[in-house]
Amino acid sequence: GQANIGVIGLAVMGSNLARNLASRAGNTVAVYNRTSARTEELIKEHGDAGFIASEDIDGFVASLSKPRTAIIMVQAGKGTDAVISQLAEKFEEGDIIVDGGNANFHDTIRREHDLREKGLNFVGTGISGGEEGALKGPSIMPGGSKEAWETLGPILKSIAAVAEGEPCVTHIGTDGAGHFVKMVHNGIEYADMQLIAESYDLLRRVGGLSVEDLVKVFQEWNGGDLESYLIEITVEVLKQRDADSGKPLVDVIRDEAGSKGTGVWTVQNAVGLGIPVSGIGEAVFARAVSSKPSQRAAVQQAFPDRPDIAEVPDGFEDDVRAALYASKVVAYAQGFDLIIAGAKEYGWDINLGNVAKIWRGGCIIRAQFLNRIVEAYDKNPELESLLVDPYFANAVQEGEAAWRRIVGIAAASGIPAPGFSSALSYFDSLASERLPASLIQGQRDFFGAHTYQRIDKDGTFHTLWSDDDRREVDQEPST
Ligand code: NBP
């Protein structure tokens, strides 16, 4: 075999990744696709330089030098399992199977375990950046063993995006760690998009800005500490005119947001791990609410009178910007908390600063902001929350009053701002000295004898709550 790397699955992601690999010095890329027309198309359109094309899996395997290393880029789920078992039959001890699809990390853990028993390396790898990223340089989040990383690392470094002079790839942790971190990345992406959308809505409906004005506002924001790919594409989306009507395209697009499910995975796993990712959750729910047209119509009919739009205070645009920034800090703080909890649950040693580093380029959430997160974890890898890092604490403090004004104005005006308001509630929950959780503990003890703890004594207590017997009968249950 002469190819140092192979790609199986040559739909848009796979063929772009293969082209990216072939364009970098030192790589020869074996390519194979179930339907050979796709392989032929790739070679026809982009030439055979750097490629070794095969019509069947045997030819593909034979064209790879040892240790054989193949990246699977097929439909997640059953397609991936089918290709893995085909490869596992032909591959030999020490060879490396990489899944670059959007796999559920639970599947990745299972696959890695099964293949390890056969002496094969399996590396579940998150790849972010969409089609363009795959071609020009994505952010890459590989899991799997350290040994596999030794072979795979240099190959992935050759194709990854570069940010601040460093390739956007790092060994995240063993087995499913890479796909877990990719999942959280996508969750944060949902939250980030929702917050930008809320900013847009408030500026437009409360601030009275035109779409043209909004283009300027987002352009300006993109020149400051909100500089990011998502703000940049927001500008492009808002600039776009509908060819038929000449209207802004955003006014022609149906306001029903779709999703492919990785945001839902993030929330499901966060709930299971007890991590409040309310920013991501609200973003997932907001898309769900938007996609219920008949329910929306029914409620609109039942409530025809909407509140008047509140008066716009001076500096409204800056207030929205501050609310966006503070809410974004919360979304990232929650996302990193989830990574910490996942690492603990699944036994991964994840360097949070390195995660922030590889998200600075290539991926959808790439942003200036991530440099501040890198610095935060450099200074203190054991941060209790991103919110308490001095830089972010200061930024939140500076924006706090504006954040509160915006949430208030949104509520008074009847404009939904679930991202902004839930982020503020989360912040206020952590920042409050006492929470009404004491009342909830009382209720739980009342109806279920679930017991509670006291602020003044150690131990576990239960009260006899009945009307006729309201004595303080705290007792220590045997548990
Ligand atoms: P698709 O997800 O549309 O999958 C199409 C590919 O899967 C084709 O090569 C197809 O082969 C192959 N395939 C299927 Br379907 N079933 C198969 C089977 N049983 N055996 C062998 N091959 C099979 O491709 P994509 O959009 O390029 O995405 C590839 C992966 O990358 C997915 O996991 C996706 O979630 C992930 N991803 C996509 C993006 C993005 O922006 N699109 C971003 C990041 C990650 P055929 O040609 O013979 O039908």
40 lines ligand 1 (CB under 6 A): no
CA of 9 to the centre of ligand 1 (A): 6
281 lines ligand 1 (CB under 6 A): no
Which ligand 1 atom sits nearest the alpha carbon of residue 100? 31
pLDDT, residue 466, reads 80
104 lines ligand 1 (CB under 6 A): no
Question: Is 256 annotated in the active site?
Answer: no
416 lines ligand 1 (CB under 6 A): no
pLDDT, residue 190, reads 98
Question: Is 189 annotated in the active site?
Answer: yes
Going by DSSP bridges, is the β-strand pair 121-128/96-99 parallel, antiparallel, or unpaired? parallel
79 lines ligand 1 (CB under 6 A): yes
CA of 345 to the centre of ligand 1 (A): 30
Q: Single out the catalytic residue among 112, 182, 317, 328.
A: 182
CA of 7 to the centre of ligand 1 (A): 12
Which ligand 1 atom sits nearest the alpha carbon of residue 13? 27
Which ligand 1 atom sits nearest the alpha carbon of residue 12? 27
Pick from 74, 84, 132 the residue to mutate for probing ligand 1's pocket: most ligand atoms within 8 Å of its CB: 74
CA of 100 to the centre of ligand 1 (A): 10
pLDDT, residue 245, reads 96
Query: How many other C-beta atoms are found inside a 10 Å radius of the C-beta of residue 145?
Result: 17
The tens-digit pLDDT sequence of the chain (479 residues) is 799 999 999 999 999 999 999 999 899 999 999 999 999 999 999 998 999 999 999 999 999 999 999 999 999 999 999 999 999 999 999 999 999 999 999 999 999 999 999 999 999 999 999 999 999 999 999 999 999 999 999 999 999 999 999 999 999 999 999 999 999 999 999 999 999 999 999 999 999 999 999 999 999 999 999 999 999 999 999 999 999 999 999 999 999 999 998 999 999 999 999 999 999 999 999 999 999 999 999 999 999 999 999 999 999 999 999 999 999 999 999 999 999 999 999 999 999 999 999 999 999 999 999 999 999 999 999 999 999 999 999 999 999 999 999 999 999 999 999 999 999 999 999 999 999 999 999 999 999 999 999 999 999 999 999 865 555 555 555 44
14 lines ligand 1 (CB under 6 A): yes
Ligand 1, atom 6: closest residue by C-alpha? 74
- Measure the CA–CA gap between 352 and 340, rounded to whole angstroms: 8
10 lines ligand 1 (CB under 6 A): yes
Ligand 1, atom 16: closest residue by C-alpha? 79
Ligand 1, atom 18: closest residue by C-alpha? 79
Ligand 1, atom 35: closest residue by C-alpha? 102
Ligand 1, atom 7: closest residue by C-alpha? 74
pLDDT, residue 220, reads 98
Q: Single out the catalytic residue among 92, 164, 166, 189.
A: 189
127 lines ligand 1 (CB under 6 A): yes
Query: How many other C-beta atoms are found inside a 10 Å radius of the C-beta of residue 235?
Result: 18
pLDDT, residue 479, reads 45
Pick from 31, 33, 75 the residue to mutate for probing ligand 1's pocket: most ligand atoms within 8 Å of its CB: 75
Q: Count how many Cα atoms sit within 13 Å of the Cα of residue 398 in the half-sphere of its side chain.
A: 12
38 lines ligand 1 (CB under 6 A): yes
41 lines ligand 1 (CB under 6 A): no
12 lines ligand 1 (CB under 6 A): yes
